[in-house]
Amino acid sequence: MTSLPDTSPDLTRLVEHAHESGIRVWWRHLDDCDGAWSAPHRSIWMRPDLTSRESRSLLAHELGHAYYGDSGPQSSAAESRAWRYAAWLLIDGHAYSDAEHTMGPHLGGLAEALDVTTSVVEGFRSLIGSAP
C-alpha cells in the first residue's frame, strides 16, 4: 500500500476501518473521478491531490458503497445513500447542532466547521430529515 497523503487521525481511523473490513485503500492518479470503489478487488482508489477534508469525506463515501455492496456505475439513489453513510461515519449530531447554531444553515459554513464536504452535510441532513 502507498503511504497516506494525510496523517490526520480521522483519515487514519477511516483507513483502519477499511482494513478491518478487508478493504485496501490506494492513492493514485485517476483520470475521470476523485475516487472509486471496486467490489471485485475489495479496494478503494483515491486521488492523492485531494485536501484532507475531501479525502476524509470521499473515503467515507466509498466505504458506504462497500458497505452496501454497490458495484459498477451507481444510480443517484446509491450515490445519495453512500453520502448518508459518510455522514453517519463523520458527523456527530451534537457537533452538527453546535455548528448550525454558530454558522447558520449555510452548507459551506457547516462543511467547513465540521471538516467535511458539502455532500456529507447534505447526507447528514437527509439522515435526520432536515433541510433549511
Do the Cβ atoms of 52 and 11 come closer than 8 Å? yes
Q: Name the nearest CA neighbour of 22 among 63, 79, 61.
A: 63
Name the residue with cell 485503500. 25
> Can you give the pLDDT at residue 130?
59
Write out the E strands in the chain: 24-27, 35-38, 43-46
> Can you give the pLDDT at residue 72?
80
Alpha carbons within 13 angstroms on the beta-carbon side of residue 44 total 29
- Each of the 132 residues of the chain gets a pLDDT tens digit; together they read 334 444 445 889 999 999 999 999 999 998 889 999 999 999 999 999 999 999 999 999 999 999 999 988 889 999 999 999 999 999 999 899 999 999 999 999 999 999 999 999 999 999 988 554
